[in-house]
Amino acid sequence: MSNPTVLFVCVHNAGRSQMAAGYLQALAGDRIDVLSAGSQPKDQVNPVAVDAMREEGIDIADNAPKLLTVDAVMESDVVITMGCGDACPIFPGKRYEDWQLDDPAGQDAATVRRIRDEIRHRVEILIGELTPPA
């Protein structure tokens, strides 16, 4: 049986979705495949988000924001949106969740850390739901 694939989507694919993808890769290892994308991707990942994740020992500095494609949604089992509203195409048979999280863009480090910690909490719950206990 193949791994479940999770797609994280936010508008710019520069903050929340990158942090979530970083956590899921670090915490789930090879048990879950991870994608992230944005409906209007920025040219680089938010440096404050990169720093906040580095504090957790997770390096997302080399990640590049990607444009959300229909293919990415089609190949995903779980699609988690973060404030991208109707930009995400909806397909039957997929699990969709919308995580209400503040956008870290333009926020100070303390605010971004709070968002990061909330993302980690939600990712840990998601891993528990998607993977059988070891």
Query: Quick check: 100 and 83 in contact, CB under 8 A?
Result: yes
Q: How far apart are the two ends of the chain, measured CA to CA in Å?
A: 16
Residues linked to residue 1 through DSSP beta bridges, in sequence order: none
The catalytic residue positions are 10, 84, 88
Q: Tokens 């509203």 map to which residue?
A: 85
**What whole-number distance in Å separates Cα of residue 40 and Cα of residue 57?**
28
